[in-house]
Amino acid sequence: MYSFDASSMIHAWDNYPPENKHFDSLWEWFSNKMQSKEFVISKKAFEEVRHKIP
């Protein structure tokens, strides 16, 4: 299991924006990893970045 901090999530969001179709496969892969619990983000880190979610 890999855990992400808030700054990592903000960096990914800012540099590989989900609305850019070129990054669809990246965000789909990332979503699958989170759903399978291979990638996680702490509640505290999520609270710090939740305002970025569309």
- How far apart are the C-alpha atoms of 49 and 54, rounded to whole Å? 11
Q: What is the pLDDT of residues 6-24, one digit of tens each?
A: 888 888 888 999 899 999 9
Q: Which residue has the higher pLDDT, 51 or 23?
A: 23
Any alpha helices (H) in the chain, and if so which ranges? 6-15, 24-35, 43-49
**What was the pLDDT predicted at 25?**
93
Give the angle 21-26-12 at the CA atoms, nearest 5°: 95
Half-sphere exposure of 14 (CA within 13 A, CB side): 7
